[in-house]
Structure 1
């Protein structure tokens, strides 16, 4: 067979025909005239693809897939059984999921000649697994992952979004709960959006589970509530840290680290490494899996966590092919464009088509709007925008282009949800009615998930996204449109992010190929096609110590005020090193980074930490509860608190934060935030009074005030501002200043106040401190509303139900009982909110 493979590959006629069939497919996609191959040539191409599919060479296999799918989609089955031929190619490639993409291919197995049917059966059997009593056929990559998971291997893998790793992981998780043994799984994800996505997928996975279902937990359980015996914790590293602090018996049999490359990303990367270290310390034989789309040095995880038996492997063979199409602007005023293909991104340029849009496309946004509207008609499309404001602008212009589209009845419920969740004037309310939506980080999670669902089921055909799409959200589309894409503040997108984004073009089981349109590529700041697809990651703590030691030392020496802007990263590294130093673990941490005790770097850091230790009275067990805040700043805050406490128990009582429902809560939060902004953020509070505003919004948020009401208040506060801008700014205020910064500050304050009161013997006072960080994180302070959210309901649904409940002290089981004993129609909820409640009740049966 190898000789036959080489004969096909070395034949220039094959490559010529392969090139022409791919061009013909692209021209058919674009609706232009295509030079078709004759039937005999197409037949020869399909035969050649069937031979190359037997190769182990990745280039051979990729071409086999492209040639076979293009030939099938152009000729179909009018004259020859190309459905059977494509099935043979896909089976030989081990790409069994793609067989189900087209009905005639899926049903053609019964017509295969006996020898080919036998060959497929043998190949399929080697990749067959049984999930919930059903036969499932996996790709080579999926099967390799499955076997290693079953063998309890510790794994580091790199695989694109379309590789299907989540499918395997979720089925593996369900399999370990089917043997009636107690299990704990901790699934670490980088964002709250991914918490929602993974948790919902797991809920669906266990819907028909016949054994006792594990609890799927997304919010840390308070320290007074025992941990369940069978549980899956889906959390960010911040929430895992809170769970570790609250429960000394919080550990995992299985740890899954999704988007593991984020271990290189600043303060959150340092914290991710820290919580993994803690989990492995509590159970050193935990099975762990590090998953990422783009890591070249997979060995970094074994080194960083001192794991000797990590199995490393990558998936370089996507289940869907991508076409990169350079879209050149020949005349901006007349809308003339020419399209060239570079195949999978590495092939020579080939002309595909010339088109005239009859639209002025001079600006970047005009290019994105009109080119996507023309080339993406009737298909699923993602348009990449450089920020939330731009995403909304593009959506507005597309909505104007499609103004004659009738409103989609199926999307009226989504429109109503956007109105209820955010504000009646939110531009998404009108956009979705026309099948257009946008997606950025500050949109409330459940609304974003509803948008994603509408995209997945085909109701939304134009989705405008920002860089949040790079944070692991599984949201593929047929076409992706990019024009000078950026990530962050006017920073051109890196090649690894570009390739990660491009991997979302093409939807498994929907199509065989996806298209990435690179608009006005010649004028991009960077040329990501020329860059690497994968990256060498450096853990954030290692990068900080080795490349920014001078800044780190200034933070350790408490001499950094006004010198740096990104303080959180350096302060988090300082807290980690200080904690390790005090516990006698500094040598272990630094040795894993390649800094041994006999080096100058080790001695310099050790000496600096020793000097810092002399100024600190806080024990390391307390320091580490506030990982993003310098030890020196924590000490300053503690000194202030001790000063109050030393006067009298009455002055100590003043320090206790009020519950949001108490009438003087605002004054309490104002005073606390003034102290925190001064001691922890180095603000001159005599000049900067923003803490007062944040105290006001924090209380409203914790009281369960609707986002719509908070936005209304902001519109009245700044009537001269454009309403769209006010809405966007308020969403950012809630996410950044309340759910992140205020959580951090109140968390540090509560931790140090509890420690100071305990030390002063005022234990009763310490036990009366309310859980403000939790209230701020979820936007609720009534126990009943918190219980509704803990059941899996969105904040807006929990808020409405809480208003209907006379009791505000229901625990989770009480809240579930309350739901079960009330007629759903009496809640007065809109359709999508009502469907949330139904899903929770169904799951609870």
Structure 2
């Protein structure tokens, strides 16, 4: 087959056909461009013959070519029924049934065309469909592609599986089906789906709530009362939430653990915590099954390096192709400021093929991006514009909307505008952009708004969506075309090639499009594109705990700085991880062996031993507070001692207490002096620390359950523009109130308890879980239960004014919701719909169980 594929690809005639297909399909995708020369005629008989010959070759190049020929044959107008029939047969042969279904839905071929194939070809199609059909214990058959079939077999045969495949291959879907099958087969089963972000937690948990067997609890937070009450459960959580669960329950037995976006193990901060929860899961249950999924990479085996010796393992890299992609460059023309030239990038070769005109010359960067997206986006929707920050997202969305005419009224759009104005601010620019079917999307936005934006974009009601790097974190937002210019992952951090191709994988919706387009703008400016891609390459995965010890210089510098506050958060995370292992009595020799220089290995080992031996607080605080150095904890303890004050003077109050803001500010100042610079640098002598006062005010009001709109009103003074106040508050909620504050304030409370115990005091503090109050942003137990059911904070806060019970069970809260006249409540329509949808889903689940 390799020899045959080489013969096909060496054919000058076939190469010319492929180029003509690419040009023809590009012209169909972007009818507004002017081709430099008309594409040549296509000999479809020869093209389909070559595609048929390549259909048995599993390489990415071959499969991409097969799909390109077959999809073009179905979509272009100069093919006859015989050609389309052959193209359908080829797609069936490679297992791309969803593209066949797409052709049927667009009336390009008649439904069930395969039944009219000649007998031998019909038998081959039947055989292939049977091969790509998985019988489930429910009695149904699951239609899959070749990649999904292989992954299912690996999951059945191996304990640890690491699979690497393109973004659109269908990894998450087949893993979800594996979860459901294991749940159907076992009355007692705990499965954990580790998601990288809270946004993905909500999306995945909603899918599980709809499909999971009855009597299965879907848990998204450590404080869900059903976590300990059911035999069969799926936990859809971030690594932070799983860490909390593991610390409060020992051992916590997991039967099946899936790590989505497993390339996150290479992150110098959150990746270390991910490694820690994985280690703990194996320690608690050595026989659990672990599945890692990552984008296309060269070394998926590295993720299996910490598996138990007895575990059967398999690592695979799939080159599955489900949709074609066009990599396009758009560049300016000298002395023609409104003209742009279009080039296609194919297997590393750049070919100028067309040009187009902007509405007018674009003098500013947001305008330039907007004009190109508007010119090429067309009227079919499915356009994502990638930008580098929330402020850029708002500016580009405003520019695009200014180029569009007012759209017809739509009830869904109107309801979303109402929610935006009520839940965020009446002047939030998102509401204005939506009137033109444009939206922006970034990670700090309220979940209820972000989810509705995603739904309306998927339905085609939002035509242009301007996004930030949340697209790289597993958010399911496939599109037809993605536009980008100078793409970065945060300010000043150019996308790596791996990140670029992960992002590009969003272009092309399997089952909705035959191909996707990645449009790179201003690629003639090298300063904007330091990693300008030409060929998709497999990236190298890394594990942060391994990498940080192999390149040990930053860790050594951190140790030699005497663990200076805020000097190196990545090294502090690694040191904390190793100290947790050391303090728990585990052998860390295999970790230290990764340090190649003996003197440096000895220096790190001595620092760890000294840190643990010098700790004068309970050693279980070290693994409990991942990412915080035991040296920092000891500094805090010594500060408490040096004051000689009563421990009650330092306790964190409940948010409703009258002096709560001042006491939280005092705590943040003390944490800044001893532990971290996350809340701003320390103030000079005699200065008022305004930033920590601002954060203390936000933290207190957030825990009280104050709506986002009120929090923004507090920040939006005459000196701060509304748009900036909105972004700043949402960013502070996400990074401070829901992440940094729970991390450090819970450690502060535990170290304070150790200090109090030294003084013979054991009742310090109010007994509330500070991490829960901060992460959820509510303080009443009834509100916690509502959020555990799956309601967003926005919906929970809206409902709370009608809730008079403070303590109830999940069952009681469901009964209460079922009795309410939700549509009669004075809350936005979309929030009403969220509550009604949840109530209906709960009722359906109850009927199934009966």
TM-score, normalised relative to structure 2:
0.92
Matched with 2:313 is: 310
Matched with 1:725 is: 724
* Structure 1 residues 616-654: Cα deviation after superposition (integer angstroms, max 9, x where no partner): 21232112222222211111222344567x76xxx3334
Is contact 1:161–1:474 with CA below 8 Å preserved after alignment?
Answer: no
Structure-2 separation of matches of 1:188 and 1:571:
24
User: Which of these residues, 420, 440, 443, is aligned with residue 442 of structure 2?
Assistant: 440
Q: CA deviation at 1:337?
A: 1.4
Structure-2 change in CA distance of 1:800 and 1:134 (3 Å): same
Q: CA deviation at 1:298?
A: 1.4
User: Which of these residues, 110, 128, 141, is aligned with residue 123 of structure 1?
Assistant: 128
* Structure 1 residues 117-148: Cα deviation after superposition (integer angstroms, max 9, x where no partner): 11110111111113554333211110001112
Q: Which runs of 5+ in 1 are unaligned?
A: none
Is residue 788 of structure 2 the alignment partner of residue 790 of structure 1?
yes
Matched with 2:333 is: 330
Q: How does 1:576-591 map to 2 (within 5 A)?
A: 576-590=577-591
Structure-1 separation of matches of 2:175 and 2:669:
46
Structure-1 separation of matches of 2:50 and 2:226:
66
* Structure 1 residues 495-545: Cα deviation after superposition (integer angstroms, max 9, x where no partner): 111111111111011111111111221213314314763322332223333
Matched with 1:843 is: 841
Q: How does 1:695-844 map to 2 (within 5 A)?
A: 695-715=696-716, 718-758=717-757, 761-765=760-764, 768-844=766-842
| 2:314 aligned counterpart, secondary structure | strand
Is residue 232 of structure 2 the alignment partner of residue 226 of structure 1?
no
Structure-2 change in CA distance of 1:719 and 1:248 (3 Å): same
Structure-2 change in CA distance of 1:223 and 1:625 (3 Å): farther
Is residue 210 of structure 2 the alignment partner of residue 204 of structure 1?
yes
Structure-1 separation of matches of 2:615 and 2:255:
36
Q: How does 1:332-371 map to 2 (within 5 A)?
A: 334-343=337-346, 346-371=347-372
Structure-2 change in CA distance of 1:23 and 1:642 (3 Å): same
Structure-2 separation of matches of 1:175 and 1:332:
62
RMSD of aligned Cα (Å):
2.5
Matched with 1:151 is: 157
Matched with 1:505 is: 507
Matched with 2:847 is: none
Structure-2 change in CA distance of 1:76 and 1:824 (3 Å): farther
* Length, aligned pairs only: 825
Is contact 2:30–2:378 with CA below 8 Å preserved after alignment?
Answer: no
Is contact 2:584–2:620 with CA below 8 Å preserved after alignment?
Answer: no
Matched with 1:162 is: 168
Q: CA deviation at 1:785?
A: 1.3
Structure-1 separation of matches of 2:446 and 2:469:
16
Structure-2 separation of matches of 1:141 and 1:821:
46
Structure-1 separation of matches of 2:226 and 2:187:
25
User: Which of these residues, 179, 182, 195, is aligned with residue 189 of structure 1?
Assistant: 195
Q: CA deviation at 1:600?
A: 3.4
Question: Per chain length, whose mean CA-contact separation is higher, i.e. which structure has more relative contact order (CA < 8 Å, sep 6+)?
Answer: 2
Is contact 2:132–2:149 with CA below 8 Å preserved after alignment?
Answer: yes
Q: How does 1:33-112 map to 2 (within 5 A)?
A: 35=38, 38=41, 41-75=43-77, 79-103=80-104, 104=107, 105=109, 106-112=111-117
Matched with 1:384 is: 386
Structure-2 change in CA distance of 1:247 and 1:4 (3 Å): closer
Q: CA deviation at 1:749?
A: 1.5
Is contact 2:85–2:114 with CA below 8 Å preserved after alignment?
Answer: yes
Q: CA deviation at 1:193?
A: 1.5
Q: CA deviation at 1:227?
A: 5.0
| 2:801 aligned counterpart, secondary structure | helix
Identify the range of structure 1 (454-463 vs 617-626) with the bigger mean alpha-carbon deviation: 617-626
Structure-2 separation of matches of 1:240 and 1:486:
30
Structure-2 change in CA distance of 1:805 and 1:56 (3 Å): closer
Structure-2 change in CA distance of 1:5 and 1:387 (3 Å): closer
* Structure 1 residues 217-244: Cα deviation after superposition (integer angstroms, max 9, x where no partner): 1111379973532111111111111111
User: Which of these residues, 320, 323, 330, is aligned with residue 323 of structure 2?
Assistant: 320
Structure-2 change in CA distance of 1:653 and 1:594 (3 Å): closer
Q: CA deviation at 1:38?
A: 5.0
Matched with 2:427 is: 425
| 1:136 aligned counterpart, secondary structure | strand
Structure-2 separation of matches of 1:666 and 1:332:
59
| 2:327 aligned counterpart, secondary structure | strand
| 2:774 aligned counterpart, secondary structure | helix
Structure-1 separation of matches of 2:513 and 2:300:
31
Q: Which runs of 5+ in 2 are unaligned?
A: 844-850
Q: How does 1:680-699 map to 2 (within 5 A)?
A: 680-681=675-676, 684-685=682-683, 686=685, 687=687, 689=689, 690-699=691-700
* Structure 1 residues 524-579: Cα deviation after superposition (integer angstroms, max 9, x where no partner): 33143147633223322233333243x424544661437x64x3222222222222
Is contact 1:616–1:632 with CA below 8 Å preserved after alignment?
Answer: yes
Structure-2 change in CA distance of 1:118 and 1:607 (3 Å): same
Matched with 1:663 is: 658
Structure-2 change in CA distance of 1:798 and 1:589 (3 Å): farther
Identify the range of structure 1 (515-524 vs 606-615) with the bigger mean alpha-carbon deviation: 606-615
Structure-2 separation of matches of 1:397 and 1:616:
57
Q: CA deviation at 1:300?
A: 1.3
Matched with 2:605 is: 606
Q: How does 1:237-316 map to 2 (within 5 A)?
A: 237-306=239-308, 309-316=312-319
Is contact 2:296–2:318 with CA below 8 Å preserved after alignment?
Answer: no
Structure-2 separation of matches of 1:18 and 1:570:
50
Structure-2 change in CA distance of 1:712 and 1:127 (3 Å): same
| 2:70 aligned counterpart, secondary structure | helix
Structure-2 separation of matches of 1:223 and 1:111:
56
* Structure 1 residues 709-765: Cα deviation after superposition (integer angstroms, max 9, x where no partner): 1101111xx313321111111111211222122112211112223344456554444
| 1:522 aligned counterpart, secondary structure | coil
Structure-1 separation of matches of 2:301 and 2:5:
34
* Structure 1 residues 177-229: Cα deviation after superposition (integer angstroms, max 9, x where no partner): 112421111111221111112112222333xx4xx241111111379973532
| 1:804 aligned counterpart, secondary structure | coil
| 2:529 aligned counterpart, secondary structure | coil
Structure-2 change in CA distance of 1:262 and 1:55 (3 Å): closer
* Structure 1 residues 19-67: Cα deviation after superposition (integer angstroms, max 9, x where no partner): 212212212222156846557x223322332232133444333212111
Structure-1 separation of matches of 2:713 and 2:534:
48
Q: CA deviation at 1:421?
A: 2.7
* Structure 1 residues 447-501: Cα deviation after superposition (integer angstroms, max 9, x where no partner): 2122111111211110111112111112111111112222222232211111111
Matched with 1:529 is: 533
Structure-2 separation of matches of 1:791 and 1:758:
37
Q: CA deviation at 1:325?
A: 1.3
Q: CA deviation at 1:265?
A: 0.9
Structure-2 separation of matches of 1:480 and 1:275:
35
